[in-house]
Amino acid sequence: QVQLEESGGGLVQPGGSLRLSCVISGRTGSSAAMAWFRQAPGKEREFVAQIPRLGGPTRYADSVKGRFTISRDNAKNMVYLQMNSLKPEDTALYYCAVDLVRSVNYWSQYEYNYWGQGTQVTVSA
């Protein structure tokens, strides 16, 4: 059984930065990929970024490219999302997720097997 727990959310002013963390417990295997999704009130859950557990390209949604960076520390079973130049439209509940087989459709939430409970990010003056 894989469990995920996010942390690091909060209230930040526009233009500010936050770093989200996700600790993953349980075995994920070498083929897994980890991702961040987000869901704003009244909207669908959307893909933010993905990173393979072992090698391969990172992927980003167009809306966050150049501002957000996903990274991992396999020794600590951690995944991070560094968010810079935050905008009010980045306000959402941010989720960490694991896809055990690194599916082709990396942007689809339905490809992911395990999810955390989410951490709230609010960008407001």
pLDDT at 4: 97
Which amino acid makes up residue 71? S
Which amino acid makes up residue 11? L
Q: Are 87 and 64 in contact (CB under 8 A)?
A: no
- Give the whole-angstrom CA distance, residue 95 versus residue 118: 4
- Give the whole-angstrom CA distance, residue 31 versus residue 93: 27
Could you tell me which of 36, 74, 39 has the C-alpha nearest to residue 58? 36
Cα angle 83-3-30, degrees, rounded to a multiple of 5: 80
Q: What are phi and psi of 74, to 5 degrees?
A: -65, -30
pLDDT at 102: 85
Please, what's the b/e burial string for 24-41 (b: 16 or more CB within 10 A of its CB; e: otherwise)? beeebeeebbbbbbbeee
* Per-residue model confidence as pLDDT tens for the chain (125 residues): 899 999 999 999 999 999 999 999 998 888 899 999 999 999 999 999 999 999 889 999 999 999 999 999 999 999 999 999 999 999 999 999 999 998 889 999 999 999 999 999 999 99
pLDDT at 21: 98
pLDDT at 29: 85
